[in-house]
Amino acid sequence: MKSSLKFQFRIYLPDGERLTEEKIEKNKAAACRAIARLEDIPGGLTIEDPGRGAATHLGDTLSVLISAFCLTGLAELKREGKIRIDFFDHDEFVDIELADDRVSLSGDEIAPQSYPCDKYMAAAVSCGERYVALLREAWRGQKQHAGEIATLEQELAGAKGALKTIPNRKRAESKPSKAGTTKNQTKKKSKR
């Protein structure tokens, strides 16, 4: 059976509305206007394998989630074999391990999951591409976001590089993720 692994992000607006990728696509202009007004982008990321009935739901500052799970974190995972991602808005973590052509997730508040490495990496990079494209469109002409877009585009290039060769790793020692440093790059002080 073919894996249908997918990563989907959602954005939490201040009025309580949750913009799923589907809602964003249905009315992209309105979604971009709403996103352009946000200082920080709270949201969530779902890693889902409908064929197995398995899903992992994560919530945090969305740029931090996307960077850690879909961009910078992938290159680190390829290099290190195992990383720990600490959440930004709350005290939880996720360990991600690449071993025996599988990517395994475990941590606080999530059920352990394991996915084929090639499917996981491809779905993660695809999600990262969609997110970067959305922010590029929403923030078009906003000079205050130019540095963040440039950083996300560099991270996306690194994630695409991680797709090229995926080593077959045996179990590795856990190391703190450098993707967590992205928190400082993407998190701005709220004016609210």
Domains recognised in the chain with CATH numbers: 6-173 (3.30.2450)
Q: What's the pLDDT at 71?
A: 95
Q: Which two tokens stand for residue 178?
A: 């450098």
Q: Which two tokens stand for residue 11?
A: 């954005």
**What tens digit of pLDDT does each residue of 108-150 get?**
888 899 999 999 999 999 999 999 999 999 999 888 888 899 9
Residues 14 and 18: their CA atoms lie apart, in Å, by: 9
Q: What's the pLDDT at 33?
A: 94
Q: Nearest-CA neighbor of 118 among 51, 151, 163, 78?
A: 163
User: b/e for 36-46, b at 16 or more Cβ within 10 A?
Assistant: eebebbbbbbb
**Residue 67 — pLDDT band, cuts 50, 70, 90?**
very high
**What tens digit of pLDDT does each residue of 36-47 get?**
988 889 999 999
**What tens digit of pLDDT does each residue of 150-167 get?**
999 999 999 998 888 655
Q: What's the pLDDT at 187?
A: 34
In this structure, what DSSP letter does residue 187 have?
-
Across the chain, mean pLDDT equals 84
Q: What's the pLDDT at 21?
A: 96
Cβ-Cβ contacts under 8 Å for 144 (sequence gap 6 or more): none
Q: Nearest-CA neighbor of 186 among 13, 42, 79, 10?
A: 42
Cut 0.85: pTM above it: no
Q: What's the pLDDT at 130?
A: 97
**Residue 180 — pLDDT band, cuts 50, 70, 90?**
very low
